[in-house]
Every structure is written in structure tokens, then in C-alpha cells.
Amino acid sequence: MSTVVSVLNQKGGSGKSTLVTNLARAYQLEGHSVEILDGDSQRTATEWAKLQPADTNMPTVTSTTASNIEEHIEAASGSVVLVDGAPAHDTLNVRAMKLSDLVLVPVRASGPDLWSSEDLLDSIQTRREKTGGQPQAAFVVCQQVARTNLASEIGDVLASYPLPVLDGRTNHRVAYAEALSSGTTVLDMPGAKKAEAEIRRITEQSLEMLPSNQ
């Protein structure tokens, strides 16, 4: 059975698909075989896969829905399945959460991102109470603008919620948009070392949270 990592946030524009594609590649470079299940109605990861250069070996992407996500996870041959969730608190996200070993909740340093995540966070907490703390879950701050009050204060705001916050964050960088629009990742782009370091830190911390590494 594959290890399942779901990236869920019911608000669009949270950096979810960018995080999924880059994490998938980072896990792959750590020696894991990785598959992406794209449950986002915008199919960003699916379109990203279509843009991949022919000579690359990026993770595969399969579109999924609430009705077949469990089937897709069971059929996966990779050691890690990354789920790009829906931009809404719907059945797909709930099922993905229940099937996950780890849930990452990307949030930007803004009030609306947090307010829109309340239902998802409640569902995660309810599930964890029923299962003795599973799935593991954490916030990931994405697209922060460095050296701003919002960036410095978001950690304190998130501390009021029951989930931990990863130390690794992504900053607002052009490299992420360029990578997504060209079918690649910041780990494969010359000149994107700062973005690569951010993704590698998130990768390291998220892998440490997996039950198999506890």
C-alpha cells in the first residue's frame, strides 16, 4: 500500500498545486516512486504534466474524483501518492483526508485563507480524535512575502489552531510560476536555488512526519 500525502485547502490560490508538483519531484529525488492524483477541478497538475518535456522523468499525474479516489489509491504502484485536493470542502477532500497518512494544509499569510479553512480543519481534528491522532497533519505557509508583518505574524496566528506549522515555507517567487507553466519544478531550474531550498526543507519535514518514520 502506498503512503498517501494529501495537500488540501478549500480556498483556490493557496499554492496547493504548486506545492504538490514540487513536493512530488522532491520525494522522487529522495528515492521514492511518486504518483500524483489530481482532484482539483481546475486540473492544474494534469495540465502541468502535459507540458513536461519529453526527456524528463517527472511523477505521473492521474485525474481523480470523489467516486474513484479510493480505487486510484489502491491501484497505485508508487511508494508515495500525493493528492492535490479540491478547492472546496467537498466529498473528495473528506475521502482523501480519511485515506491519508499525512495531510498538509497550505495557507497564505492572510486572514481569508485561514477563515476559509475552518471546515477542513474541523474535519481533520474530528478524524484525528476518532483514530488516535491519524492522519498526521500540518500547516505549510506558502507564497509569503518576506520581511512583511503578515509573514512574521502568521506563525503566531496559526499557533492558535490544533495543527503544527512546518518551519519550511515558500516565498513569493517568480520561479514557482515559471516552473508550473513549463511542466517542470524549481528543483530542475537553474537559478532557482532559493526556491529549491524551500521545497527541500518542506520535503524533509513532511517525510519526518510520516508514520513509517515516527
- Residue 37 inside a domain? The answer is yes
Confidence at 15, pLDDT banded by 50, 70, 90: confident
Q: What is the CATH number of the domain that holds 184?
A: 3.40.50.300
Task: Report pTM.
Answer: 0.94
Domains identified in the chain, total number: 1
- Residue 214 inside a domain? The answer is no
On whether the CB atoms of residues 38 and 62 are closer than 8 A, the answer is yes
Q: Please check the confidence at residue 107 and state whether its pLDDT lies above 70.
A: yes
Quote the percentage of the chain above a pLDDT of 70. Answer: 93
Cα–Cα distance list, 5 to 8, 37, 48, 53, 97 (Å): 10, 10, 19, 25, 9
Range of the domain at 204: 3-209
Confidence at 13, pLDDT banded by 50, 70, 90: low
Q: What strands, in cross-sheet order, belong to the sheet with 80-84? A: 60-63, 34-38, 80-84, 3-7, 102-107, 136-141
Q: How far apart are CA 185 and CA 192, in angstroms?
A: 9
Q: Within 10 Å of residue 66's Cβ, how many Cβ atoms?
A: 15
